[in-house]
């Protein structure tokens, strides 16, 4: 395995890293032509990678800049780390006055609502106050009390989000939007759309587990994507996909640790507690936003209800992984997941 060479390039204020691609997917993915490149940048609270083949550094630079511009725009709009994002503005002001939001904000909100409705509120982007409560518990080293959870649940209710045209209002005080379960997927979709606009025939955009595969390999075969194992470093399985998104949600990447206990970073808005049935969920869907949102929703609903939810979204498939006993994984695929499995 040759050592990748790398160059740093600047795009606006963001640093992107261009790496000769050949070695990147070894172990994770099969037969990619050498000469592919990976361009990475920190965005959306993770590392975003765009993988594509280009005839020259100049072309690579141009395409990568175009793809990342789409990601950075969504990050600037929907980040809850940035005080000047529209999401932060809504969280600050929408209980007091209508806040005008952009079409991209509306698109994420509407998809979030669709998944929330379909999942009976298991998926809920107003989960913010609960997430804050659990982070506070991590800091204090003590799980939140039942009464604190009950009080916080009063402030979790996506049905109180009122959208009138492009004006968003919170119909209840104390709500906080958290797009952590869905915005990365949307940013991936926007980057893919930007690359398509430039005529890019094939690319992979990966935002830390939320990825979209555009087109086929030069050989005409679909790309092979290794599905993250919930505990080991080797892939759990390999899927072959084209023009589809694949997302994995799980406790491995992010979690709350209180004392010695590791809790899932996904919280059930019906109980106020971290979910514990599935250890990971992979969803394949037509958009990365849907795959991202559904994978989180299925984590909350668990195997049976979760797979039933996925069945209601045409073209979406899921793989639910549970842990029974010390180390024994059980894997439950949706009816059509097998069509993508190659290993």
Question: Whose Cβ is closer to Mg ion: residue 63's or residue 283's?
Answer: 283
Shortest Cβ 42–ligand AMP spacing (Å)? 17
Using CB under 6 A as the binding rule, whether residue 22 contacts ligand AMP is answered as no
Rounded distance, CA 60 to CA 47, Å?
18
Instruction: Count Cβ neighbours within 10 Å for each residue of 221-245 and write b for 16 or more, e otherwise.
Output: ebbbbbbbbbeeeebbbbbbbeebb
Binder to Mg ion among 32, 292, 298, 316 (CB under 5 A)? 292
CA-to-CA separations, 1 to 32, 187, 226, 326, in angstroms, rounded: 14, 32, 19, 35
Residue pair 246/234 in contact by the 8 Å Cβ criterion: no
State the DSSP string of 83-105: TTSHHHHHHHHTTTS-EE--HHH
Rounded distance, CA 273 to CA 77, Å?
29
CA-to-CA separations, 124 to 92, 117, 297, in angstroms, rounded: 19, 9, 9
Using CB under 6 A as the binding rule, whether residue 215 contacts ligand AMP is answered as no
* Phi-psi category of residue 123: left, alpha or beta, with phi > 0 → left and psi -120 to 50 → alpha: beta
Using CB under 6 A as the binding rule, whether residue 48 contacts ligand AMP is answered as no
Binder to Mg ion among 32, 181, 192, 321 (CB under 5 A)? 181
Question: Whose Cβ is closer to Mg ion: residue 36's or residue 179's?
Answer: 179
Tell me the sheet residues that pair with 7.
18
Contact map string, positions 128 to 167, toward ligand AMP, x by CB under 6 A:
---x------------------------------------
* Phi-psi category of residue 280: left, alpha or beta, with phi > 0 → left and psi -120 to 50 → alpha: beta
Say which entry of Mg ion, ligand AMP, none residue 187 contacts (CB below 5 to 8 A, set by partner kind): none
Binder to Mg ion among 61, 79, 119, 296 (CB under 5 A)? 296
Shortest Cβ 157–Mg ion spacing (Å)? 20
Binder to ligand AMP among 41, 79, 217, 296 (CB under 6 A)? 296
Using CB under 6 A as the binding rule, whether residue 206 contacts ligand AMP is answered as no
Binder to ligand AMP among 71, 127, 245, 319 (CB under 6 A)? 127
Using CB under 6 A as the binding rule, whether residue 181 contacts ligand AMP is answered as yes
Q: In terms of Cα–Cα distance, which of 58, 21, 56 is closest to 40?
A: 21
Shortest Cβ 273–ligand AMP spacing (Å)? 11
Contact map string, positions 297 to 326, toward ligand AMP, x by CB under 6 A:
---x--------------------------
């Amino acid at each position: 395995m040759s050592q990748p060479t790398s160059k740093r390039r600047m795009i606006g204020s963001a640093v992107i890293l261009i790496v000769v691609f050949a070695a990147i997917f070894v172990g994770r993915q099969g037969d990619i032509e050498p000469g592919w490149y990976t361009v990475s940048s920190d965005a959306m609270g993770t590392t975003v990678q765009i993988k594509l083949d280009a005839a020259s550094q100049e072309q690579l630079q141009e395409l990568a800049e175009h793809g990342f511009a789409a990601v950075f725009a969504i990050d600037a709009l929907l980040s809850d780390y940035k005080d000047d994002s529209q999401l932060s503005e809504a969280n600050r002001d929408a209980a007091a006055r209508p806040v005008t939001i952009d079409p991209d904000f509306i698109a994420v909100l509407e998809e979030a609502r669709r998944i929330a409705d379909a999942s009976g509120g298991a998926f809920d982007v107003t989960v913010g106050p609960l997430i804050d409560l659990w982070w506070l518990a991590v800091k204090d080293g003590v799980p939140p009390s039942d009464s604190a959870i009950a009080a916080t649940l009063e402030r979790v209710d996506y049905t109180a989000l009122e959208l009138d045209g492009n004006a968003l209002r919170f119909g209840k005080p104390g709500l906080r939007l958290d797009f952590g379960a869905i915005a990365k997927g949307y940013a991936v979709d926007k980057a893919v759309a930007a690359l398509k606009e430039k005529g890019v025939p094939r690319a992979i955009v990966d935002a830390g587990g939320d990825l979209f595969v555009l087109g086929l390999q030069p050989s005409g075969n679909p790309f092979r994507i290794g599905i993250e194992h919930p505990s080991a470093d080797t892939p759990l399985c390999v899927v072959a996909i084209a023009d589809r998104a694949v997302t994995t949600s799980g406790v491995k990447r992010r979690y709350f640790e209180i004392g010695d206990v590791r809790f899932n970073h996904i919280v059930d808005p019906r109980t106020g507690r971290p979910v514990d049935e599935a250890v990971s969920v992979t969803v394949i869907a037509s958009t990365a936003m849907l795959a991202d949102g559904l994978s989180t929703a299925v984590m909350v609903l668990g195997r049976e209800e979760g797979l039933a939810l996925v069945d209601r979204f045409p073209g979406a498939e899921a793989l639910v992984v549970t842990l029974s006993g010390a180390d024994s994984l059980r894997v439950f695929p949706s009816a059509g997941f097998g069509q993508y499995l190659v290993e």
